[in-house]
Structure 1
Amino acid sequence: MRSIFNKTNLYFINNCNQLTPLPSWAIFFINVGHWLAQAEIQKNRLVLGLAIPTRNYAAALAALGVVQARANSPIDRINSNRYFEQLCKLPKGTPVVFYDCNRRYKGIYQGIDETCGERRLRIQRENKSSGGLTNLVSVKQSHNVAIAHKPNISLPKKQSGRPIIIHNEFIDGVIGKHNTSEFITKTRLDCALIGRINTLKHEILEIPFASFSSSKSKTGYLQDILRVRNFLSEGQAYRSEILSSQVSEPPQTSGGLVPHVTIFDGATGFLKWRDDWRTSHWIILLERTEPHFKEAVEIIDNDYINRHNWEEIQNIIPAPSGVEMVVYQEFCQ
């Protein structure tokens, strides 16, 4: 795993509408996300625990780093097999959205086609009365399929698809213009955040940022990059999802998809739901003043002491002043 210690072209926009460089602590959280996003998940996964003075923006910026790094990873480094297998487990009749040639189509998952030893998803795009046009989607194309928000949809007799607006200068400035089309049209669950939805919603949707390049700035919001499923309209491709830490039943991602990185924004979600997320990398953010801080730290310390893999981890990002950090590996469960 190579290391990325990035500066950033992102800026806060203050109350006077002036660009303010991100402070070093903000860049640290982005780089934490970058670093962890590069590690593929095989037998082991990485756990990164942080004791921090305040949680403000920490989870959102770490998620930004994850999504940004994954967006800039060559497609052959992204494990499409994992996403494909998750889609294969969907019940027949599950409504989906299918992207093709920068157009968006309604679809229904109709199981698996296997020809000459190659499996493909069967995505029906048109009503049976007109022939039931069906696309066969390979492993490499599987990120063109997203699970729809609506539990039931009806397919038309003929479907021309909705055009997708893929030009966004803020996104171009953050992830690179050459990646924008793929970024906006392909679904991949890079990151799941478990925390207080309203707090995260404010930071992601309501606080303006700017990307600055070529002597000009473009304004946007973290949502433009995070593409949080909860905050998108029906059928849009997404890269992350937010789950409430306050619920009484285990939180579930859409379709049961497994994120590449799970971010626990606070001790509550970590203490309640950590055992349900042991197939992804973890970032655990613990604010020192929160009620269950000590309990969460004790669990992390115990897991660190009893870890199964003592292999040295390379290129760990140094923690800034005021932040305590522990990094270790665990077996995927």
Structure 2
Amino acid sequence: MKESFPDNISFFAQGWHPLPYWAKFFCALGYWTAIHNRTHKYRVSISAPVRDYAATFIVLGLTVGSIRFDSMSVHFETLCSLEYGTPLFYMDKLKRKKARFAGTEEHPVFNELAIKIRLESKESGGLTEYIARNRAHLVSVTEQDFTLPGNQKGYSIDANLDLISIFFGLDDPMSFISNSSYDSLIVGTLTTISEELKNTRFLVERGNVRTEGTLVDLVRPRCLIGEIGFHTDIISSTSSSGSIKSGFDPASVVVIDGANAFLRTNMDYSDHSQIVIFDRSERKYQDAITLINQEYLLGNFEKPNLDVIKPTKIPSGVLFSITTEQRGVYSGAAETY
């Protein structure tokens, strides 16, 4: 994966236009939070004239900064140690197929150790496939129990592989699709955020390669794309944090969109880094700011290391503050901009 964002990103609105600076800023803020989130817990509070698309671009930055593919060798060794017959999922191009672990053997072509997976029932011939180390990411263990079919077509997956490859700089975009993880969670108005993710088309260029798509293709919210290859989700501020399914760990970042959402849910996600976005025209804006100030006065926060984001120019009209504490330690200070 290339660390930089693509060379050029444009959006379509009665013609193609360069991505505005404020959108790039929110991407950078999400990226910065993701790469520092493992050791420290942050709250980034943003006050803006309007908050349209702020959460969605922040989540895009979080996705870029959070991509963490398991070591291929470690994953391969884990697969090799499975019990015979362990249920698996196998990503065959854009089809997810059921499989069973069938041991390890020397690959018949590449002269190296490979795992064997069985894709069809023994009664149908027991079709098997050899998976070499460099393709191990296409196989995952599942807790589901099932009987292998006789003639398996697989479950079709909707994914814009060209866009994923160009945007993230991946030689194998299936590595992004085959690894589901909660890199972030958006708490806010489901319909509004979903429309922002689905309805605006983007043109992405890296080098001399270009392709189109939407933000759904890149951040892959679970509620919109399903159980395969998701990297975020959207939850209404009226829903309980307990409605999030397994896999949402404390290292995932929560993006809270709006004062109402913050006042209702911020304590539900107190173990997580938070990026909170306020629109100064909101009716509950002052109540939310008062609560943030009270929590700051009651706490001791570390002085955050802002070296990564300091060179970034803050867009006109945008104010933000960052508080941080080392995970497991409650101490320190804050900075406001």
TM-score, normalised with respect to structure 1: 0.71
Question: Which of 185, 200, 203 does residue 192 from structure 1 map onto?
Answer: 185
Question: Which of 196, 201, 204 does residue 203 from structure 1 map onto?
Answer: 196
Distance 1:166 1:321, change over 3 A: closer
Residue 137 (structure 1) aligns with: none
Q: Which amino acid aligns with 1:254?
A: K
- What residue ranges of structure 2 are gaps of 5+ in the alignment? 76-86, 101-118, 125-135, 329-337
Question: Which of 282, 286, 289 does residue 290 from structure 1 map onto?
Answer: 282
Q: Per-residue CA shift, 1:152-192, capped at 9, x if unaligned? A: 98544568573768772222221113251211111011010
Question: Which of 22, 25, 30 does residue 25 from structure 1 map onto?
Answer: 22
Q: Secondary structure at the match of 1:254?
A: coil
- 1:261 correspondence with 2:253: yes
Question: Which of 319, 328, 332 does residue 324 from structure 1 map onto?
Answer: 319
TM-fit CA distance, 1:281: 1.4
- 1:36 correspondence with 2:53: no
Residue 167 (structure 2) aligns with: 174
Coordinate RMSD, CA, aligned: 3.8
Do the aligned residues in 2 keep the contact of 1:11 with 1:22 (CA within 8 Å)? yes
Counterpart Cα distance in 2 of 1:325 and 1:31: 14
- What residue ranges of structure 1 are gaps of 5+ in the alignment? 81-95, 109-124, 131-140
TM-score, normalised with respect to structure 2: 0.70
Distance 1:296 1:224, change over 3 A: same
Residue 89 (structure 1) aligns with: none
Do the aligned residues in 2 keep the contact of 1:55 with 1:287 (CA within 8 Å)? yes
Question: Which of 63, 77, 97 does residue 67 from structure 1 map onto?
Answer: 63
TM-fit CA distance, 1:19: 2.1
Residue 11 (structure 1) aligns with: 10
- 1:223 correspondence with 2:216: yes
Distance 1:106 1:294, change over 3 A: farther
- 1:271 correspondence with 2:263: yes
- 1:58 correspondence with 2:54: yes
Counterpart Cα distance in 2 of 1:99 and 1:188: 17
Do the aligned residues in 2 keep the contact of 1:59 with 1:263 (CA within 8 Å)? yes
TM-fit CA distance, 1:68: 1.7
TM-fit CA distance, 1:9: 2.3
Distance 1:170 1:326, change over 3 A: same
- List aligned pairs for 1:119-158, cutoff 5 A: 155-156=147-148
Counterpart Cα distance in 2 of 1:292 and 1:311: 28
- 1:252 correspondence with 2:243: yes
Do the aligned residues in 1 keep the contact of 2:259 with 2:284 (CA within 8 Å)? yes
Q: Per-residue CA shift, 1:130-152, capped at 9, x if unaligned? A: 9xxxxxxxxxx89965989xxx9
TM-fit CA distance, 1:236: 1.8
Counterpart Cα distance in 1 of 2:315 and 2:142: 40
Question: Which of 218, 234, 238 does residue 242 from structure 1 map onto?
Answer: 234
Counterpart Cα distance in 1 of 2:33 and 2:211: 28
Q: Which amino acid aligns with 1:61?
A: F
Q: Which amino acid aligns with 1:287?
A: D
Do the aligned residues in 2 keep the contact of 1:47 with 1:330 (CA within 8 Å)? no
Q: Which amino acid aligns with 1:53?
A: P
Counterpart Cα distance in 1 of 2:217 and 2:211: 12
Structure number with greater Rg is 2
Q: Which amino acid aligns with 1:327?
A: I
Do the aligned residues in 2 keep the contact of 1:195 with 1:269 (CA within 8 Å)? yes
Do the aligned residues in 1 keep the contact of 2:184 with 2:233 (CA within 8 Å)? yes
- 1:45 correspondence with 2:41: yes
TM-fit CA distance, 1:70: 2.1
Counterpart Cα distance in 1 of 2:13 and 2:58: 21
Q: Secondary structure at the match of 2:17?
A: strand
> More deviation in 287-296 or 323-332?
323-332
Counterpart Cα distance in 2 of 1:97 and 1:322: 51
Percent identity, aligned pairs only, is: 23
Counterpart Cα distance in 2 of 1:284 and 1:41: 19
Q: Per-residue CA shift, 1:306-331, capped at 9, x if unaligned? A: 33332342324452221111001136
